[in-house]
Structure 1
Amino acid sequence: MGQVALEGMEFYAYHGFYDEEQKIGNRYRIDLYIEADLEEASISDDLSKTVDYEKLYQIVQREMNQPARLLEHLGHRILEGAFQEYPHLEHVKVQVSKYNPPLGGVILRSKITLERSKA
């Protein structure tokens, strides 16, 4: 087993519960952690035997371009996209952070974490 991680992906996107958030937009950070059997890739040096970072990034980018009311829903879509692209994954963890959430005070970011293991 091994882990592939993409940490600190940042996007300007239009998610939020309030209509105003979906119009104005905000900065978001995504951290994605994938657990899979990486032994064959480590021996063969063959990209097709591992999880391609570029494809993972494209999954996240695609979901960031589709507005969601809740960070939980956005995270769920990213998890689903990873498992659809790579059904052999053992475990996926995603963290979705929203910078400066509109809560009436100074808050660096709000964050949700979702995890799912192979069914």
Structure 2
Amino acid sequence: MIVDNAKITLTNLRFHAFHGVMPQERIVGNDYTVSVEIGYDFSRAMVSDNVRDTLNYAEVYEVIAAEMRCPGKLLEYVAGRMGQKLMEVFPAIREMTLQIVKLNPPMGADTDGAGVEVHLINDKTGSLTSVL
């Protein structure tokens, strides 16, 4: 069996975190969702039924949660830092699409949120390339 374009997803993880440009945002915090789609070859797990042959969702969640606990002014910065950390911890990740949404942005608009989405490719050298 040949597997092409296999992905692992975590969708709408919810956090209360302290990111923002405005000082009050870093004091009071805001609610966020994080979604990630990770390109990862899990073909061995399709045969073995063993978690060691795939990317453990719980371990991915722990990296994301740790990064959400570290305040940043810009969601772009938080997304870049989070993507870098995920690829450091799990070097077999080929690529990922990462979305972070602030659910109640302080901009006076009736909205479901404002945020960033980035597609990152692991170039295997330790640095990330952003593809929009």
**Structure 2-normalised TM-score?**
0.86
Measure the CA separation in 1 of the matches of 2:12 and 2:60. 13
Measure the CA separation in 1 of the matches of 2:90 and 2:13. 20
Measure the CA separation in 2 of the matches of 1:81 and 1:49. 21
Matched, 1:93 2:97: yes
**Paired residue secondary structure (1:69):** coil
Q: Which has the higher contact order (CA 8 A, sep 6+)?
A: 1
**Structure 1-normalised TM-score?**
0.95
Partner of 2:69: 65
Matched, 1:39 2:63: no
The count of aligned residue pairs is 119
Structure 1 residue 36 displacement after superposition? 1.1
Please list every run of 5 or more consecutive structure 2 residues that lacks an aligned counterpart in the other structure: 124-132
Partner of 2:13: 9
Structure 1 residue 77 displacement after superposition? 1.4
**Paired residue secondary structure (2:111):** coil
Structure 1 residue 89 displacement after superposition? 1.1
Matched, 1:109 2:113: yes
Of residues 102-111 and 27-36 in structure 1, the stretch that sits farther from structure 2 once superposed is: 102-111
Matched, 1:54 2:58: yes
Structure 1 residue identity aligned to 2:64: V
Measure the CA separation in 2 of the matches of 1:67 and 1:117. 24
Measure the CA separation in 1 of the matches of 2:44 and 2:88. 21
Please list every run of 5 or more consecutive structure 1 residues that lacks an aligned counterpart in the other structure: none
Measure the CA separation in 2 of the matches of 1:51 and 1:62. 17
Measure the CA separation in 2 of the matches of 1:5 and 1:36. 10
Measure the CA separation in 1 of the matches of 2:82 and 2:53. 21
Matched, 1:81 2:91: no
After superposing on structure 2, the runs of 4+ consecutive aligned residues of structure 1 that deviate more than 4 Å are: none
Q: Report the identity percentage.
A: 26
Matched, 1:20 2:35: no
How big is the alpha-carbon RMSD for the aligned residues of Structure 1 and Structure 2? 0.9
Structure 1 residue identity aligned to 2:57: Y
